[in-house]
Amino acid sequence: EIVLTQSPGTLSLSPGERATLSCRASLAIGHDYLAWYVQRPGQAPRLLIYGIFRRATGVADRFSGSGSGTDFTLTISRLEPEDFAVYYCQQYDYSPITFGQGTRLEIK
């Protein structure tokens, strides 16, 4: 199965700063089948980005996705207080679907 490795494990930043989260796949992801989810404490995950760069309905434009092949990035341009949470990447190109282990974004 495809292994997704997210880095860093924890990212400490302040509101207003820019966040860059990485996701590396053990095999090239085709068809742009890479998504990002956010999970706030006590809540279910929520879709942020799919197809590498397509924002889900209602997602603020400060969130952007990029990358290709095996290396992907989620960028949050200016952190808001509600952005401090855990972020997961997911590939849906290969079966079984797999997730990264998550990046925790915490307030510095």
In the complex, the residues that contact another protein under the rule CB under 8 A are 1, 33, 35, 37, 44-47, 50-51, 56, 88, 90, 92-93, 95-102
**Residues facing 34 on adjacent strands:** 91
In the bound state with another protein, the residue whose beta carbon lies nearer, of 14 and 44, is 44
The distance of closest approach from Cβ of residue 101 to another protein in the complex, given in angstroms and rounded to an integer, is 5
For 85, which DSSP code? S
3-state secondary structure of 38: strand
CA atoms within 13 A on the CB side of 102: 12
3-state secondary structure of 46: strand
In the bound state with another protein, the residue whose beta carbon lies nearer, of 76 and 89, is 89
In the bound state with another protein, the residue whose beta carbon lies nearer, of 67 and 102, is 102
